[in-house]
Amino acid sequence: MLKQNFYQKPKITINQKINSNIINAINVLQMSSNEIDNFIRQAIEKNPFLLSSKSSYKSIKDPNIDNQKNNYNIKEWLYQQSSLIATDREEEVLIEIYIENLDNFGFCRITPSEAAQLGKTSKIKSNEVLLKLKLLDPIGIFSNSIAEHLSFQLQKKGIFNYKYEILLQNLKDLASGNFNKLAVQCEVDMKQIMHMIKNIKSLKPRPLEGLEVEKIEAVIPDILVTMDGRKININLYNKNHHQVFINKKYVNQMKVKQKHLSNKEMKTYIQEQIAHGKMIQNNLNRRNETMLLVSKAVLEFQKMFFLHGAESILPLTHNQISKKVLMNESTISRTVKNKYIKFNNKTIPLSFFFTSKTKDKLNVKNSSSISIKAKIKKLITSEEQLDIILSDQKIVNLLKKEDIMISRRTVNKYRESLNIPSSLVRSKKF
């Protein structure tokens, strides 16, 4: 039933309507799949002339979810993310072992040796998978201690150094209030140590501390990528998923009734709702078209990733794609935001494929920061097999053999961005 109690709306100029339509189109373009679901649900609730391609919508946020359910959702979120890092069945088994052995605080309560034994694989492989898992969201997940979790957060803030490393090794003295002792150990004065302690106290002691349900909602892919030999196929994940339609049957019914209506406000309401529904329909269709066009340009450029993995990622910017598809750079940014692709059962952010060159002098291969990070991670995960701990300088030397010329500072920066401890910390774990 249409509401009879209409209020007098202010007159809207043509320019205002155009501007409003543009704003709505921009907002729809940059929405994630989950946000689009909510948007469509709300639109259908408000507009009786709209139909959806989905039979029903379920609320993403359930206020009645208890702690046990919340913990279950966290595991689902981790499984969703880990689909990106698993390269074979062996790694999938180890991932499951580690996820199922997380405690309620987000700490890993199983050693790599124990995981390797359960997974019937090597300790080297087990360590490699655990290192990958520690890169997942939320920050510090799979830490083996409060100290390690705190170090991840400090690295994220860009303030972690050897002084904080020493401080975290002496948390008992911190708890006991032995600040003078800590200042001596960290080689700082009292003012500096108190500042460091203040930073420590501002952090979350546990990975799952204060985690909200919205944080862990399942990611809905937007683009499906498949390979036919060396040919890459790029399509909408579900072309009918985010579509709305005008209920023509209901429109025709209302047109018949409208002929007998004397209430002008009622007629205006019907016309406005139909126009609004068509605008939503057009914006959603335009979103899908733009997203597919941009995704094709991005993913075809990064074709080598699908053939050879992350080490083959090339430098790519929004500006390059904007020139390719003849769109504004801001449009590319909005299109890429919160969008995901599905490839080999892996869900990958579209933003993953954008990376700049490192500031160091690189070889003719035109390596990207992501490809170099992948090489650094590969070198460090092979330490146990090589029976050697690689310092940042040793990594520089090894990369140099591959004609990749980067500085020790850059290696340090990339290593910390991967949440990989220093060689000093890693040596203590051997």
Q: Model-level pTM?
A: 0.51
* Predicted pLDDT of residue 258: 65
pLDDT at 64: 35
Tokens coding 195: 């500042």
Task: List, for residues 95-144, the tens digit of each pLDDT value.
Answer: 988 988 888 888 998 889 888 888 888 888 898 889 888 888 888 899 98
Q: What are phi and psi of 405, to 5 degrees?
A: -100, 100
pLDDT digits (tens, 9 = 90+) for 214-257: 444 566 789 999 988 888 999 998 765 677 888 888 777 776 66
79, pLDDT greater than 90 = no
Rounded Cα–Cα distance for residues 257 and 267 (Å): 10
**CATH tag, 67-142+211-216:** 1.10.10.1330
Contact 123, 112 (CB under 8 A): yes
pLDDT band at 72 (very low <50, low <70, confident <90, very high): very low
Look at residue 2 in the predicted model and tell me its pLDDT.
Answer: 38
Per the DSSP assignment, residues forming a β-bridge with 367 are none
pLDDT for residue 429: 56
Percentage of the chain lying above the pLDDT 70 cut: 80
Angstrom distance (rounded) from CA 346 to CA 344: 5
pLDDT top residue among 10 and 220: 220
Establish whether domains 67-142+211-216 and 369-428 are of one fold.
yes
The yes-or-no verdict on residue 12 having pLDDT over 50 is no
For residue 295, what pLDDT band results from cuts at 50, 70 and 90? very high
CA-CA distance, 227 to 54, in Å (whole number)? 28
pLDDT of residue 352: 82
Q: Kindly tell me if the per-residue pLDDT of 75 is higher than 60.
A: yes
Q: Cβ-count burial of 234 within 10 angstroms (0-12 exposed, 13-18 middle, 19+ buried)?
A: middle
More confident residue, 296 or 76: 296
Q: CA–CA separation, 277 vs 29, rounded Å?
A: 17
Over the chain, what is the mean pLDDT? 79
Residue boundaries of the structural domains of the chain = 14-53+218-355, 67-142+211-216, 146-201, 369-428
CATH topology of domain 369-428: Arc Repressor Mutant, subunit A (1.10.10)
Measured CA to CA, the distance from residue 62 to residue 316 in angstroms comes to 39
Q: What is the mean pLDDT of residues 380-388?
A: 76
Instruction: Please report which confidence band the pLDDT of residue 195 belongs to, taking 50, 70 and 90 as the band edges.
Output: very high
More confident residue, 191 or 371: 191
* Selected residue with higher pLDDT from 132 and 429: 132
Res. 70: pLDDT tops 50? no
pLDDT at residue 373, rounded to an integer? 82
Mean pLDDT for 186-211 is 87
pLDDT of residue 223: 92
DSSP bridge partners of 50: 246
pLDDT category of residue 296 using cuts at 50, 70 and 90: very high
Under the banding of pLDDT at 50, 70 and 90, the label for residue 351 is confident
Of 77-91, 250-264, 372-386, 388-402, least confident by mean pLDDT is 250-264
Q: What's the distance, Cα to Cα, between the start and end of the chain in Å?
A: 72
pLDDT for 226 equals 92
pLDDT of residue 142: 92
pLDDT of residue 67: 40
